[in-house]
Structure formats: structure tokens, C-alpha cells
Amino acid sequence: PLFAARRQPARPILPRAMPYRSTEQAPRASESPKRTDLPATAHRKMATIKDIFAVIKGREEPDRYVILGNHRDAWTYGAVDPNSGTAALLDVARRLGIMLRSGWTPRRTIILCSWDAEEFGMIGSTEWVEENLGDLQSKAVAYLNVDCAVQGMGLFAGSTPQLDKLLIDVTRQVKDPDVEGKTVHDTWSTMNGGINIERLARTDSDFAPFLHHAGIPCVDLYYGKEFPGYHTALDSYIWMEKHGDPLFLRHL
Ligand SMILES: [Zn+2]
């Protein structure tokens, strides 16, 4: 019976109307109208990865760490993932540098992290968290993550409950990059269904080891949602310049 069934001509699978909307709603491979063979070659080899850190020692509580991080490796050009986050992190670093030169010092220790090998499974951040687990569990106050920081309009945030109020308060002090004379809080409360903080439980960026392995309060921030070119060659500077953030103000 098995062979008899095989001799039957294959029933054509009719293409179904399925308009493309987002990465989550795109047709699954099993629903696609044609069968395609995709040969792939991968090299199995050892490679060295490098995490990069900058530490600003705290004045009053040097043994309390506020940690900011973003990854540096990309699938393709990485204009959104991760370089929009890197641009934001570097701009924070630049401004902290200006403040330090003017004599300012932070109350607690600030650690800036540029992670390697995130796309391979959060390897850079996970290794570091595992290596420093005891130290981080007793001293880290919060881990603030950026990754696909700019993928369009509107602020989106995920956090653990301890940081909700702080996050909302801070947005009252930040100018909105898109609307003159408004704060981020003003536009956040009117766009995308209002202030809605996602309860952070995902594992798809470098907050994962801090959150799930070490139990440290975490925040993940981004402008825009559901970037259609995610992990493709369309994640380019050209896309960012044309669609993502033409004035690059959301990067600051
Ligand atoms: Zn990423």
C-alpha cells in the first residue's frame, strides 16, 4: 500500500492567500506552495570571541553595579540588529565621558558592555554572567539592554516589575525624538495603545543570562516593533536611512 500510494501523482498544494504582515505572521515552510531544496554548508571550527567593557567606579557605592549592554556581532549588515543599539550605547558612553571630564562621578559603579557572539546563543554575555555569577548576584542593581534599539516609530519597553516605575519616571525627563516640545512619556502614553510595559521573560537578547541565570532586574528598550528585515540582508544602513530613522534622532 505504501508504494501504491507513492505512485499516485502528488496532489498539488494550492497557494493560499496569506498577505505578508510580520515575521510572526509570515507563511510557515510547511504551508508554502512549492518544495525547495536549500543546500547549506557550515564550517565547524573554534573561534575566539571578545566582550568589551568600560567601568566607571562609583563614588558612594562602588560595589553596586548598574550595567548597560548591547551585542556587537550581526547576521548581515546589522544596521538595526545590533548597531542601532550600539549607536545608542556609544552615545551614552560619549556623554558619560563629557560629564566625567567636567568632574562628575556616578554614585554607583557603571559598567558598559559590548557583547560578542549574541547571535550564536547569547554566548558572550552568558559566559561573563556565569563567570561572575556570585559577584553579580550580590552587587548588580540592574541590567539595561539595547539590541534592535531602532526599528521604527514609538517606544516599546520590557522590564521586570521592580523597574517599571523608574522607567516611566525617566521618560518624563527625556525629549521625544519625533515630536517637538513633547517628552517620550507624552508620546508613549498616546501611541501603540498607551503605556504598556512588557513583562520581560524572553530569551532573545543579552538580558537573558542576567534575568534567567542571575535573577537581576532587567530592562529592554526599543523604538518600533516587528522589523520586517530582521536577520536578513535588508538590515542595512540604506533601510535605516530610508525607513527606520531618517533623521537618526531615535538613536540618541
Ligand atoms: Zn540582536
DSSP string, 50-95: --EEEEE--SSEEEEEEEEEEE---SSS-TTTTHHHHHHHHHHHHH
Candidates 3.30.1390.10, 3.90.230.10, 3.30.300.180, 3.40.630.10; CATH matching 52-244? 3.40.630.10
**Residue ranges with CB less than 5 Å from ion ligand 1:** 81-82, 147
Q: How far is the CA of 244 from the centre of ligand 1 (A)?
A: 16
Q: How far is the CA of 148 from the centre of ligand 1 (A)?
A: 6
Who's near 202: CB < 8 A, 6+ residues apart? 158, 208, 220
Q: Write out the chain's pLDDT in tens, 252 residues.
A: 444 445 555 555 555 554 555 555 555 666 666 677 888 888 899 999 999 999 999 999 999 999 999 999 999 999 999 999 999 999 999 999 999 999 999 999 999 999 999 999 999 999 999 999 999 999 999 999 999 999 999 999 999 999 999 999 999 999 999 999 999 999 999 987 789 999 999 999 999 999 999 999 999 999 999 899 999 999 999 999 999 999 999 998
Choice among 118, 198, 226, 241 that is catalytic: 118
The residues that bridge with 111 in the sheet, in sequence order, are 55, 67
What pLDDT score does 38 carry? 84
Q: What is the rounded distance in angstroms from the CA atom of residue 17 to the CA atom of residue 74?
A: 33
What pLDDT score does 40 carry? 86
What pLDDT score does 3 carry? 47
Q: How far is the CA of 70 from the centre of ligand 1 (A)?
A: 8
Q: How far is the CA of 233 from the centre of ligand 1 (A)?
A: 14
What pLDDT score does 89 carry? 97
Q: How far is it between the farthest Cα atoms of the chain? A: 84
What pLDDT score does 42 carry? 86
Other C-beta atoms closer than 10 Å to the C-beta of 154 total 17
Q: What is the rounded distance in angstroms from the CA atom of residue 161 to the CA atom of residue 37?
A: 46
Q: Report yes or no: 209 and 122 within 8 Å, Cβ to Cβ.
A: yes
Report the candidate in 160, 188, 165 with the shortest Cα–Cα distance to residue 250: 188
Q: How far is the CA of 225 from the centre of ligand 1 (A)?
A: 13
What pLDDT score does 29 carry? 61
Q: What is the rounded distance in angstroms from the CA atom of residue 53 to the CA atom of residue 67?
A: 10
Which amino acid would we find at residue 29? A
DSSP string, 6-52: HHSPPPPPPPP------TTTSPPGGG-SS-----------------E
Report the candidate in 148, 157, 153 with the shortest Cα–Cα distance to residue 118: 148
Q: How far is the CA of 82 from the centre of ligand 1 (A)?
A: 5
Check whether the bond before 39 is cis (ω within 30° of 0): no
Which amino acid would we find at residue 134? G
| Measured CA distances, 151 to 52, 147, 198, 219 (Å) | 25, 10, 17, 17
Q: How far is the CA of 17 from the centre of ligand 1 (A)?
A: 31
Q: Report yes or no: 152 and 192 within 8 Å, Cβ to Cβ.
A: no
127 is annotated as an active-site residue: no
Q: How far is the CA of 107 from the centre of ligand 1 (A)?
A: 30
